[in-house]
Amino acid sequence: MFPYSRILLKLSGESFTNKGEFGINFSLVKNIAEQIKMVHKQGINIAVVIGGGNIIRGNLAAESGVDRATADYMGMLGTVINALALQDACEKLGLITRVQTAIEMRAIAESYVRRKAIRHLEKNRVVIFAAGTGNPFFTTDTTAALRAIEVGCQVILKATKVDGVYDSDPKKNSNAKRYITLPYKEALQKELKVMDATALALCMENNIPIIVFDIFKEGNLKKLVEGKKIGTLISHDVGVEYE
């Protein structure tokens, strides 16, 4: 049985597009919305944080000569575009949603207010957090950790295109082993790039488990909430276990 009643789903912007492409593939967004609906039917409160890498990546823009803070703000606006796309897909499936943005945009979304976000979750609305933390130099991984702590989520489900965390890059090393469980400290010390160090440290300090899984494998999110072991669990209460 799934032990969590309130989750934060962390989506990368790349999950909204085909590999190597930019923009939004609305069929992929619809697929994710359908999986969110399946989880919602289980009575689980769902918050979502989305990246913006399919629109623009702040770090790449900065490398091209754009001022880093400006580049990061551009990236934050990309996350808002993605949040609106997911909101539309979810509402077409009958879900009630709210987009809350860390940068004020009253014409299109609510401003982030912690107590209001909690109230939405209590009313079983899907809350989609956009615009990162509202500050440059912070990733959406850090946003996910921060928002999960603030609104009382019990776990972060980090949705990716791979089936968990490996001890080395499986694309480069055919002998790479997948972790089933992994302590926070090990993930930090080995720099496994599960999340950035700030996000991992926040989760470790506040005891928020992270489950890294492949959202594009049919039914994976549903299997997770049914209590099946999918992906890699990162937590205080586990040792190193390989597949």
**pLDDT tens digits along 36-71:** 999 999 899 999 999 998 998 777 788 888 999 999
What predicted TM-score, i.e. pTM, was given to this entire model?
0.93
CA angle 18, 137, 143 (to 5 degrees): 65
Structure tokens at 165: 């965390």
Check residue 84 and give its pLDDT.
Answer: 97
Q: How far lies 91's CA from each of 59, 95, 97, in Å?
A: 32, 5, 7
Return the percentage of the chain with pLDDT > 90, whole number.
Answer: 63
Q: Is 140 exposed, middle or buried (CB count within 10 Å of its CB: 0-12, 13-18, 19+)?
A: buried
Mean pLDDT (whole number) for 186-206: 88
pLDDT mean across residues, the chain: 91
Check residue 33 and give its pLDDT.
Answer: 95
Distance CA 129, CA 47 (A): 7
Is residue 169 pLDDT above 90, yes or no?
no
Q: How far lies 32's CA from each of 10, 36, 37, 82, 155, in Å?
A: 12, 6, 9, 12, 18
Check residue 1 and give its pLDDT.
Answer: 66
Architecture of domain 6-242: 3-Layer(aba) Sandwich (3.40)
> pLDDT of 116-159, one tens digit each?
999 999 999 999 999 999 999 999 999 999 999 999 999 999 99
Residue 242: φ, ψ to 5°: -100, 160
pLDDT-based confidence at residue 202 (cuts at 50, 70, 90): very high
